[in-house]
Chains A and B, each alone.
Chain A
Amino acid sequence: MEYFLQQLINGLTLGAIYGLIAIGYTMVYGIIRMINFAHGEIYMLGAFISLIAFLVSTLLGGTSVAFGLLAALVSTMVLTALYGWAVERVAYRPLRNAPKLAPLISAIGMSIVLQNFSQLTQGARVKPLPPLFKGGIELMHGETFSVNLSYLQMTIMALTVALMVVFTWVITRTSLGRAQRATEQDMKMAALLGVNTDRIISATFVMGATLASVAGLMVTLYYGVIDFYIGFLAGIKAFTAAVLGGIGSLPGAMLGGLLIGLIEAFWSGYFSIEYKDVAAFSILVLVLLFRPTGLLGRPEVEKI
């Protein structure tokens, strides 16, 4: 029981991170019907930028963890958002009216470019970050095993919930969110009503990148090691999460992320840690075979 509870906490933490990345996939898919395969790399850049931000704030003599975290959070979000914007501007916008395969290939190219960019500029070695958060609370004390919820896990979950609230509010209540939903449903019509759809698409990439950057920051803190290649696996897993939840559905992306995180945690806890990726990707295959619309997705109705 104690062991189960611990894996549940670990799985939810991991799931929160996957969910934040998955939202970027699902939003971009919703609006331009394209899988942004460079999104995992955006998350990786977020992790690197946050690492640099932590080191810089320590160098400048910042001793307060809260201040360091806030500074890193803000700078990571802003800088990664710029990367997200630039990727769309350079690699996808020129191909807006091209056949569907072209932007997909461009996305894979962009992903390789960004990986190599950080390998060249930051080096190929694994980068460590000493743990900033120590301690936690002991929820339950068993005979052989005690259940811990670390302060870092709490921070990750609280930050995810806060971001989801802000994000949901932007989508449902603001003018920008309304225009995004309109563009998603009928881009040409939205343009005819005076919505600058190119700008809305840019905003979508910026929002997706911002959420992914926070996921990158969390991973840097949580695992304490990052390298230039982490975007690949995390990206594919978040993509799996988006498909599981129903690609195009925002609550679906978060739900899918949590499920993938839980499956991975329980699989590693009870079966085999080496095969945890197999579990996640088997889910992708099963969902695509038996429920291609995902858990919360809408079936695509072909207009005749």
Chain B
Amino acid sequence: MSTLPLLDVEHVTMRFGGLFAVNDLSFTAQPKAITAVIGPNGAGKTTLFNCITGFYKPQIGRMTLNHADGPVLLERLDDYDIAAKARVARTFQNIRLFARMSVLENLIVAQHHKLMRASAFSLAGLLGLSRYSKAEKLAVDKARHWLDRVGLLDLADEDAGSLPYGSQRRLEIARAMCTDPVLLCLDEPAAGLNPKESLELNSLLTGIRDEMGIGLLLIEHDMSVVMEISDWVVVLDYGSKIAEGAPALIKDDPAVIHAYLGEPDESEA
């Protein structure tokens, strides 16, 4: 069983009218590894994420998530089951925190599914049963653990919307981790970060990979981040995969250089 990849994307095609945003794309992502998806603007990276996390249903193809207790087909799940059953979590390029809730509440909402079960859909909570308060305490503990990890513990009671940009990014990652994911999808987590924050992010992500043993799927434009932390790189252009491999090999792949920089000028050649 250990040979199965964590995520197996097979022949996924997502079409909007005549535009193939993602075209016959197949790749795999391994557990305990960071898989980067790179490509020029409009290559279909975010569309791919939207397919994986249930925003879009691809017209063709299959996306299998292999859990220890069997495979789950992502394209067949309702959106809330992507987190609850398949345990795929996601962050966004334009941060989507609950701005008018506290930092801590943002992380507790992420554990809603578990809490609702423990509280028998809040009835036990209403009656103040111990089962619920115990589950609630566990949820708060987990939230505080992740706040500590991303260095926001002091700001637990602030409104999430009042945090500075870099902190909001880290909070979004902490919130995603509170759903207990087996696959974490990060859409440009380093965008807008300064070099110091970017380095901190690298160690946070590699830390999550090594300690939690989960798979990470990463869209990133910052090549220094990609080369530094990813274990495998998939390159997209116009919705199709043009290359994949270890980061060191991808850097020198002619197809990749072509996609990013265009055709070398005739006169220079």
Q: Which of B79, B81, B109 contacts A178 (CB 8 A)?
A: B109
A170 within 8 A of B: yes
Q: Tell which of A179, A181, A189, A193 has the most Cβ of chain B within 10 Å.
A: A193
Q: Which of B173-211 contact A (CB under 8 A)?
A: 175, 179
Q: Which residues on A are within 8 Å of B, measured CB to CB?
A: 170, 174-176, 178-179, 181-182, 185-186, 188-197
Whether B79 pairs with A191 at a CB distance below 8 angstroms is: yes
Assembly CA distance A229 to B92 (angstroms): 49
> What is the number of residues of chain B that contact chain A, defined by CB distance less than 8 Å?
33
Asked if A193 and B110 make an inter-chain contact with CB atoms under 8 angstroms apart, the answer reads yes
B80 and A185 contact, CB distance less than 8 A: no
A176 to B112: give the CA distance in the assembly, Å: 8
Contact partners of A170 in chain B: CB under 8 A: 122, 126
Residues B113 and A194 in contact, CB atoms below 8 Å apart: yes
> Could you list 26 examples of A-B contacts with CB < 8 Å?
A170-B122, A174-B122, A174-B125, A175-B112, A175-B122, A178-B108, A178-B112, A179-B112, A181-B101, A181-B105, A182-B101, A185-B101, A186-B96, A188-B79, A189-B96, A191-B54, A191-B79, A191-B80, A192-B53, A192-B54, A192-B89, A192-B90, A193-B175, A193-B179, A194-B179, A196-B113
From the candidates B98, B101, B121, name the one contacting A176 in the complex (CB within 8 A).
Answer: B121
The reply on B55 being an interface residue by CB < 8 A is yes
Do B112 and A195 touch across chains, with their CB atoms under 8 A apart?
yes
Q: A174-B125, A175-B136, A179-B109 are in contact. Are A193 and B101 (CB under 8 A)?
A: no
Chain B residues 67-92 with CB under 8 Å of chain A are 79-84, 89-90, 92
Question: Known contacts being A193-B175, A194-B110, is A176 close to B116, with CB within 8 Å?
Answer: yes
- For window 104-123 of B, CB contacts with A under 8 Å fall at 105, 108-110, 112-113, 115-116, 119, 121-122
Shortest CB distance A17–B (Å)? 24
The CA-CA distance from A189 to B54 in the complex, in Å, is 11
Q: What separation, in Å, do the CA atoms of A196 and B54 have in the docked complex?
A: 14
Q: A176-B121, A194-B80, A197-B80 are in contact. Are A186 and B116 (CB under 8 A)?
A: no
Q: How far is the CA of A182 from the CA of B98 in the complex (A)?
A: 6
For A175, give its contact among B55, B119, B175 (CB under 8 Å).
B119
Kindly provide the distance from the CB of A289 to the nearest chain B CB, expressed in whole angstroms.
27
Are A178 and B105 interface neighbours, CB within 8 A?
Answer: yes
CB of B100 within 8 Å of the partner chain: yes
Report if B99 contacts A (CB, 8 A): yes
CB atoms of A176 and B109 under 8 A apart:
no
Interfacial chain A residues near B109, Cβ < 8 Å? 178-179, 182, 190, 193, 195
Q: How far is the CB of B39 from chain A (nearest CB, A)?
A: 23
The CA-CA distance from A236 to B101 in the complex, in Å, is 31
* A188 to B92 Cα, complex, angstroms: 12
Answer whether A193 and B83 are a contact pair too, CB < 8 Å, given A181-B101, A182-B98, A188-B55: yes
Chain A residue at minimal CB-CB distance from B118:
A175
Residues of A within 8 A of B113 (CB): 194-196
